[in-house]
Amino acid sequence: MHNILALKLNRFATLSQEDIDAIGNACRHSIHTARARRDIIREGDAAPHVILIIDGWAARYKTLPDGRRQIVSLLLPGDLCDHDIFLLDEMDHSIGALTPVTYAEMPREPLETMCRDRPSLARALRLDSLVVAAIQREWTVSLGQRTARERVAHLFCEIFARLEMVVLTDKNRCEMPLTQIDLGEVTGMTAVHINRTLQELRREGLIVLDNRILTIPDRRALMRAGMFNPSYLHRHIAQQKPSPTAALG
């Protein structure tokens, strides 16, 4: 199951079987599960491990003193929850399971050893961290500039593309377990506004939501509706020849 990370990282750099085995060895002895709507780690906790999402959906979130919550990123299968989180004394945000989640805790020492001894793997992890930052920039643009319709369309396009990278889509369908409250906490909208926006996208034939499954009848049309350009996901970096500097890790 942990090789979903290798599947994802192989998009950024060509990994050897030894690289893939190293990933497995780093996390196979620390597999855990979390029930839906339970925290995996909380703001203020110590952060000794890097968390790898193996199965299920989780989210980074911040909660205000009055209880309002903002989801600041979605964590999908194959995602690492901050490669260097162990450098912090404590968590500055919480990570919660949105669905039942299987995850691995990767200790600092094996991860640092992998990066030191395996240049291709180190490069892939660095590139993955850059993509995480690029996703955050797009979310900031959505919150600041995109309309409600554009925000939701863009989010659905991004989720589909990220799941596609780890072979978790079926033609034009993918899992969509997010509730309307979840979507509101991602997009900065009320649940009522989310409901109206989903109905609008349905009426236009851009999405079908049924039994926690998202179907996108016309992907290009949904991309246009959300002004979605997938270039920020950098899905084809592995096809480019790394520079000598990059190869050094």
Domains and CATH numbers, the chain: 4-131 (2.60.120.10), 146-233 (1.10.10.10)
Please check the confidence at residue 53 and state whether its pLDDT lies above 80.
yes
Q: Is the dihedral of CA 120, 11, 7, 233 positive or negative?
A: positive
58-115 pLDDT per residue, tens: 999 999 999 999 999 999 999 998 888 878 888 999 999 999 999 999 888 888 888 8
Please check the confidence at residue 137 and state whether its pLDDT lies above 50.
yes
Instruction: Give which of 213, 244, 29, 60 is closest to 136, Cα–Cα.
Output: 60
70 forms bridges with which residues in the sheet? 62
User: pLDDT class for 207, splitting at 50, 70, 90?
Assistant: very high
- Tokens 């196979």 correspond to 28
Distances, alpha carbon 227 to alpha carbons 116, 141, 176, 183, 238, in Å: 40, 11, 21, 18, 26
Distance CA 79, CA 217 (A): 27
HSE of 27, CA atoms in CB hemisphere, 13 A: 26
pTM exceeding 0.75: yes
The token duo for 245 is 């500097």
